[in-house]
Structure 1
Amino acid sequence: MEFIRTEIPEVVLCKPTIFKDERGYFYEVFKKESFEKFVGYSVDFCQDNEAKSSKGVLRGLHYQLPPFAQSKLVRVIKGKVLDVVVDIRKGSKTFGKSVVVELSEENKYQLFVPQGFAHGYVTLSEEAIFCYKVDNYYNKESERGIIFNDETLNIDWKFTVEDLIISEKDKLQPTLKNADLFEPNFKLNA
C-alpha cells in the first residue's frame, strides 16, 4: 500500500498494490500497523458501513462534533464516486479548503478522512457501493453538516443542482460560516 499526503496533509490517499492474474486479483485493503505508522497515531476503527447509491446521489457534507467525532477510511467496491473532504478546524492553515478524489472499483483507492473534516460524495456511475470504516459510533446529537453548494467552498460536484438527488436533511444544512465547527483546541485521538 502506498500512502500519499494530499494538499491537506492530514487527509491521506491510500493506493493499494494489486496482484492480478488470470484468476482475478488480490490486494490488502487495510493493514493497521503500516497505516498507523504513516499517519503517526493510533486509529481504532470500530465499525464498517456500506451504502448503495444511484447516479447523481449526493451524500454530505457530514461530520460529528467531539466527543463523538469520527475518522473515516472510505472506498468504493462497485462503481465510481467523487469524494470530497473539507477542513472544518477553526484556525487551521487549510480551513475551508477541500480535497476532491475520484474513488472507483477500478482504481481501488481509499481516502482517510480524519476527525475535524466534513465528508461527502456524489455517485458518478449508474450505481455505486461505498464502504467506510469509522473510529467512533454514530451519535445523533453530535451529527452536523454543511450545505453541499456553499459558495465559499466552490466544490464542482460534476452535476447541475437539478440533476442531483439529495436528501431533505442535506438540502437544509447550514453554510460553512453558520455551521458548528471544530474549535482550535480540538486534538486528534493521537
Structure 2
Amino acid sequence: MIATDGPVRLIEPKRFGDARGWFTEVYSEAAYDALGITCRFVQDNHSYSAPAFTLRGLHFQTPPFGQAKLVRCIRGRILDIAVDVRRGSPTYGESVAAELTAENGRQLFVPVGFAHGFVTLEPDCEVTYKVSAPYAPANDGGIAWDDPDIAFDWPLPAGTTPELSAKDAGLPRLAGWTSPFDYDGRPLTPLEI
C-alpha cells in the first residue's frame, strides 16, 4: 500500500502585515509535519495561464512515482479540485474544491491517490506547486475533466469551452479505467480551514 500522507487539506498560512505589506511562511517542514503532511517535496513547479477559463487536469502520476502536491495561486484566481481515484474507496470519484487566490494565500494539499486539476477564473494566473516525486513521463496519467461519473460543476460561463491542452482533451474516463491507487482507510471529507 502506498501512503497517501493524510487527507486532502485546505491550508491557510498566517500572514503578518504592516504598512509595508505582509510576510508569510509558504512552507515549513516542521509546521506541515504538525499538520500530518510528512511527505518530502522534491520539486517545485510553476504554471502560467494567459486566458481565463484555462483548465489543467485532472492529473496524477502512478506508482511508484505517485505525487502528493501542495498547490497555491500566486497571481489571479483559480478553482482547484482533487478527485478520489483510490480503488475500493467509498468516496471513489467524489471531489472537493477550493478557490485559491493570490489574495487569500490558501494552499491545497493533494495526496497520492487523487487526481488534481484547476480552472483559471480570470486571465493571467500563475500557480506554483510542490510535488513529492519527480516528473516521470511513463507514469503520467489523468482522467477527463468532464467525466460524467465525477460530475463536477466547473464554474464556466454558459457556452464556454475551457482552454485545454491536446493531452487533457484526450484523457480517459473513470468507466473502464483501473486505478493503480489503493484505498488507505480514510474517505474523502469536506475541506476545512
* Shared fold, TM over 0.5: yes
Establish whether residue 184 from structure 1 lines up as the match of residue 186 from structure 2.
Answer: no
RMSD of aligned alpha carbons: 1.7
Matching of residues 53-132 of structure 1 within 5 Å: 53-54=49-50, 55-132=52-129
Q: How many residues align?
A: 178
Establish whether residue 140 from structure 1 lines up as the match of residue 163 from structure 2.
Answer: no
Native 8 Å contact 1:49 1:132 kept in 2? yes
Q: Which consecutive residues of structure 1, in runs of 5 or more, have no partner in the other structure?
A: 1-8
SS for the counterpart of 2:35 is: helix
Establish whether residue 45 from structure 1 lines up as the match of residue 41 from structure 2.
Answer: yes
Separation (CA, whole Å) in 2 of partners of 1:91 and 1:145:
18
Native 8 Å contact 1:144 1:180 kept in 2? no
Separation (CA, whole Å) in 1 of partners of 2:63 and 2:159:
31
Displacement over 2 Å in runs of 4+: 160-163, 182-187
Greater helix content = 1
1:152 deviates by: 1.2
* Deviating more after overlay: 91-100 vs 114-123: 91-100
Native 8 Å contact 2:8 2:109 kept in 1? yes
**Aligned partner letter, 2:47:** A
Q: Which residue of 2 aligns with 1:173?
A: 171
Normalised by the size of structure 1, how large is the TM-score? 0.88
Identical-pair percentage: 41
- Structure 1 residues 33, 126: closer, same or farther in 2, change over 3 A? same
Separation (CA, whole Å) in 1 of partners of 2:122 and 2:58:
20
Q: Which residue of 2 aligns with 1:21?
A: 18
Matching of residues 149-164 of structure 1 within 5 Å: 149-159=146-156, 160=158, 162-164=160-162
User: What's the CA shift string for 1:33-79, capped at 9, x where partnerless?
Assistant: 1212222x631101101000021110000001100100000000000
Structure having greater relative contact order (Cα 8 Å, sep ≥ 6): 2
Separation (CA, whole Å) in 2 of partners of 1:49 and 1:175:
26
Q: Which residue of 2 aligns with 1:3?
A: none
Q: Which consecutive residues of structure 2, in runs of 5 or more, have no partner in the other structure?
A: 1-5, 186-193
- Structure 1 residues 87, 19: closer, same or farther in 2, change over 3 A? same
